[in-house]
Structure 1
């Protein structure tokens, strides 16, 4: 076998038809003529010309031309002034290589290449692309059986974008197949195929199965250089056609790539002022670029305006809906984002959309939203559809949030979504009959149960359904205001004989800030039990083992108006009184007293507090101190000053080191005229400064001292105390009152 013949076969294997011809022609091997005959027959079978323009593309050209071999297209190349080996490489594949003097006009170069073709049927591609998919037969069928006077073919261009080691794909449908008798390229930059007879006519299109893989944007510096060149050409074009919206869009996009964001915004503003048809693919590309610009520069308001402007015409586009969802997320419109992504998933979802979005991307984005909202069930469903085993929800395996719900469907949503930050599973116990509540709850948890038993059975029922060591009790009409999940996780990481207290903000009539109470809400399943129907009445399973109370790093708030909260408290009072008639219960007595007290029924509160304090007491418990201080205040309100003084005397040995008690004692001393003792008590409250109330530690104690000094006629001391109370309104009024006196 001669060297030329073997080299010819090797060249043919690489798609280098012209080089193979030359080698076979030079070979003395008798088989070479047979190969030349085959190549001649192959050439006669050609009906379509693949046309390219090149300049200094030696790195990518061979792979590009080799990809065309299996389709048996004629290859036509117009080189615009290469100084590397581009022309040498091109001539190994085809004898139709021509020089075109570059005139800053891509359309002119494209049309020149097409003019040198042997056939009217043209397929265009770039020299840094390779053609895959489709078939010669599909393309021939298109040209033979389609009205090419008004119809052109488009195929997908898969742009491989690179950022370091990471690659991403952006896919565009581009018109690249046409009949040169009826169509040609227009525009010196970002050239487009149009009818020769009418440049502005809307072409019919047919999607072909071909794809090209484009590696033109691998080098960031090269991309920047190309974009700067494009800006110069586009500005020149716009000098001729200043209102041409296509060039305005391309210039805006080029400025975006160059990170000249101000000018990009200016040209996009012109683009949207003129362009009103958002169904065109290149227009949607402009919308995509504009939204990315807005997000990049954090102009979320502009992004949302654009979505609202364009969305009606883009409901048929998988990618556009995904892009819109991104805007909705950054503008805190999660529900609209969910609707957009769910709509996208109902469409024919591509492996890769026109702007790079995939079905997996949409599912992952939905999962992220659901996860942020605590809708664990829906989030898991979406992650399952992605099919990536590495993607999973990591929820706390020690803690379950037990949510008690009646009919509050709207409030249940707010409750569960506020709790999502804890990343704990939910156990949802539904006591109502609304089927919508059950349906809603099952978006958040698979552990949803309808409870229809007696009230005093609820606690035990809850424990039977609890599958983790710890349970946190929350009502559906509450929301999480704040929490430290890391500290909470430390508390629940090991099973211990504890019970957790949480702060709960409740509404107060005429006070936008409300007030805070404490309740036992965290239990350990193996150590705890419920006493009666109230799930805040948590005690130890073992009679001789006391549960240590722990302050939890979280605050809940009643998601109720004052009127609704008042009605719920009235119902609670009725329920507690009925329970106490059946069986004495210190916790129920305390909660009943608290309810009476905070709704200013001081006489009933006094009796309920006395009932609580008359039973077995744990003086170290927060509830006992609260009962003592509130009882003193309640007795003062009903003018039982001696009774208040007696309570102070009884509990002083135990609580004299606490600011809350000293402040209550000061009020009792004031009302029986023991002003010196009252002043000392308020001073102690301020100096101890260990109350949860900032007021007791500071301005309230100063104010009460001011009141005493004023009553005693000590004007200067009263003024000093009032002024130390700062901006407290009653103290300011005291200062004004004293200054008016002569």
Structure 2
């Protein structure tokens, strides 16, 4: 080295695992080593001595500054370098460090502290670790001690320079032990700090320790308080800003995080990590195009200057995956042109004050839907210019969730009218177009583009969308209910009518407006809610029906029948539908006598949807055990609604259950001839005009002993994905009656594949044919392992579990006690 000397000053306690690595890294640059040991019981002092260190024992006083300052008092070099035992000097920084010691014109220099975190992520932070050896320069602060105040007091902040010297910190890596012990120690130090010393930096450190203990809200409160009195130029300020942003996102306070980020993007123009955090916020809010914009900006900008607490390099594969996710969900380039042509934008954080009018408003109502609301709002945020959320009395976090995802929140005093609540949302909207969703609904990815394309070439005042309701947690297409509902329309004074079972069509029909069909779906995930919430929603709907439709028995009984049917209370539903039919008959008789349409019927329409009434009434009768009444009702209804395939399918099932096989076969054939009824016109369950009818026919053939016909039907069904499991199960049950081995038949048909064989294993296990099930299981595994990756092991694992459970139940697989 040159004429000027450098002293390394350290404090240590039980750091035998780390101190050797640290001291080796500075062998070629330091002139003396001062180690203050605060009570080691391992070989820390011995290792330090072997590196030529001067070791001074100093009793621990819950004060890092006190120990640091003892090391400074014993140092003799011209310059001081501060390192911790779990750090090391980057060997590539030796030349720069030597140059600063010899020719540096500042009183002190910030170095870049590289924190090695989990999963390959490195976080860079500035730290003042190199300064001239003057007796005025001493540390302050019991924890995360600082020397900056004393240097600034004597020589001014301008005397502190910046360097690119790098020190690598291993203390946060997965291999570091005693992290909890360090947290406890740090909290003890902070709690012992006198009230007069509890400044912004104290609050920053206290917040950091709360975060390490998983106490996020306490940590955030401390950091926000610290921010109030922290100057942006203080060394820890960028890290404080970053920690607050991270915590707000972790707490799903995305609006607050974006406000915070925007403020400091103006102050710290070179801090590109804020772009990354902004992108994450938009990604979590469903504003995918905005997320792509931010993430691309982050990747294109140069690295932040070293004095920022910045990620040196996020794991590139992780960053690439985030970008791919955002881009896949965002509108692609061509689709963005479509959006621009339509005037469609995205929900921003503060909005675009230059826009004369918003194009699309998402309107949502909800109550106690915090668990589902985020999914709902995120699903449409990409295409909505604003989100209006009307809350009808939540006592959970629904309003906070909505606000943090960018929605304008409007409390609404519940008056037993779903229509009034939705009309309040429409009234608050400023968009030319309105999209209506319930809080437990969402738009699947493909539907966003469908809505944008529809608005681009809109030739109607309103559009019916396909609403798919999944009544249970399986989210199975087998039980999905589909109908068409008017959910997309111009804001031209149209309002929903009917307090329960609310509908926009009467308002449009009164105005003489045409209604089109939009190629977009809404998924209603009613069955995913907590059981208590489902029950609460059912009670609320029943109460609203009784309160608002009490003077209209026809509609009241219809609405109650529908509510009880969808709740699985079929006997009560059937009773209500019967009352509805009685009132409907009475109304028709009265109309025939007087020559007047029934009071209260929709313009050009009916008081209730008769097709829906017949289907749900027939379904309720079947589920409550009265198949004969169901078959009779459905036979009459299918003549009134000849295109409603689902009525014929239900009638066929009722006949099958009554043992009327010839009639059932004829009706299932008729379903296949009719095909699927259109959801635009009727409430439908998918497959009842196709694969479900074919499955039923195959089962009917098998029951009649017509094995060849059944096998032929099952083989055709096996090529339809939703029917594969039913087809394979049916063929497994025909195993003994087939003219050729099933394995050969499947191979000839190209159907010998693991997923189908897993169904055969489960079927054979269920009927106790374990030896055959094991043979099919082995065949399935061999097929799977011979296939190229990626391979889906889940069906075979499930079938193996069924096989083992069956063997245990039969006592063929003894368990050790």
Structure 2 length as normaliser, TM-score? 0.44
Pick the structure with more strand per residue.
1
Q: Using CA pairs below 8 Å that are at least 6 residues apart, which structure has the higher relative contact order?
A: 2
Structure exhibiting the larger radius of gyration computed from Cα positions: 1
